[in-house]
Amino acid sequence: MYHEQWGDYLNLKDLCVVWGDNISTEVYRDMRFSNGSFTCYYKWPNQEVGSRFNPNQLFNNHLISNDSELNSTIMAVRRGDQVRLKGYLAEYSRMGSSSHRSTSTSCTDSGNGACETIWVEDFEILSRANVFQRALFKISLCTAGLLLAL
């Protein structure tokens, strides 16, 4: 929503990516994740889970591209999907505007500015999450819409 308000049509999607030991130990399964407009939030239910989570293996990625086919794939990713992406860390500005998007170059920073802006050259959804639940949700919406129409 904010990207459109600011006329930032290059930044397609903000994607919170969990990787490394957070995946191999499956600690992410015991946690909750959410996104704000430019922020990736996470929380754990207790100190034991928190001690196993490595915040340096979570990235808040801002994905940019000018390839329409690639853009469609990026926009199709949903929460929990496994992805593979290739690209370059990038900075950009909008002509005629003072806004500037920079990028982090460190895995250990945090707070404002700790996000990675990536010029995406390749993006693949390796595995979809919650396929059954997503299909059931779509069927429920269609059924509700049909019932309302009747």
Residue 31 to residue 54: CA distance in whole angstroms: 12
Q: In the structure encoding, which two tokens stand for residue 42, read together?
A: 């996470």
Identify the burial level of 54 via C-beta atoms within 10 angstroms of its C-beta, where 0-12 means exposed, 13-18 middle and 19 or more buried.
middle
Closest CA to 33 of 59, 66, 9: 59
Could you give the angle at the alpha carbon of 102 between the alpha carbons of 99 and 105, nearest 5°?
Answer: 170
- Give pLDDT, residue 76: 93
Q: pLDDT for 93-121, tens place per residue? A: 777 777 777 888 778 778 777 788 999 99
Interacting residues of 87 by C-beta distance below 8 A, sequence separation 6+: 63, 118, 119, 120, 121, 122
pTM for the model: 0.76
Could you give the angle at the alpha carbon of 76 between the alpha carbons of 82 and 99, nearest 5°?
Answer: 100
Q: What does the pLDDT average to over 7-12?
A: 73
In contact, 141 and 91? CB cutoff 8 Å: no
Strand, helix or coil at 118? strand
- Give pLDDT, residue 120: 96
Q: pLDDT for 29-68, tens place per residue? A: 999 998 877 788 999 999 999 999 999 999 889 899 989 9
Interacting residues of 113 by C-beta distance below 8 A, sequence separation 6+: 102, 104
